[in-house]
A = this chain, B = another copy of it.
């Protein structure tokens, strides 16, 4: 039950946001929305034409919040690598999953171009931002020169989204963190690669040898307080 100080319309949207995050679109009933928002039966239909329209308002707001909070980290201080690391390590409600990404598993969201649009646009925006950071970091040696920005960006976003899957399957946040550490270790290792990342398939006769000087074991940016996940 949402507190007062908010209009009925606002409470309906906020209740719907929470239910969509927790139960998805098919698992969210108008009745549950009405009860959680504290609105009477008919009120929902006064402000919105029906469940799809209310869900659209809720999804759009969640998408905007996600862009705002992720943007704050990606625009933060540090080298491109450090900002990618800050994004990967930022505080998340891991076991609740991503309020945007989880909608892609909902048949009725995917079936509706209108409902899918904000989901698609948000994840696309995130990939473009990360791709830009990777491209920028290649110039400074923060990322390997052979890496493709869009490919790495897709890998980063996918690792996060898949990390939620692993965490929820196991009932523990550990798997999410493990996957993120693996990705970070690959990003670090590739920056020190002797060969471009795009062509040579690694076979037996590779024999990685020397040990480069570790210069500043920068412990990267501290986690941003945002509680919203993605």
Which chain A residues have a beta carbon within 8 Å of chain B's beta carbons?
22-24, 26-27, 79, 81-82, 97-98, 101-102, 104-108, 110, 116, 119-120, 123-124, 127, 140-148, 150-166, 168-171, 175-176, 178-183, 185-218, 220
Contact = CB atoms under 8 A, between A and B. Distances in A.
A198 to B, nearest CB: 6
A160 B102 CA distance: 15
21 contacts: A27-B106, A82-B201, A124-B170, A127-B175, A142-B202, A147-B182, A152-B186, A155-B159, A155-B179, A155-B183, A161-B162, A185-B190, A186-B186, A186-B189, A188-B200, A192-B195, A192-B208, A194-B209, A200-B214, A200-B215, A201-B214
Contacts of A104: 97, 164-165, 168-169
Given A124-B170, A141-B203, 15 more contacts: A27-B27, A81-B203, A104-B168, A141-B204, A146-B189, A152-B186, A155-B159, A158-B162, A161-B166, A162-B162, A183-B186, A186-B197, A189-B197, A199-B214, A200-B217
Contacts of A194: 192-194, 208-212
A200 B208 contact: no
Contacts of A123: 165-166, 169-170
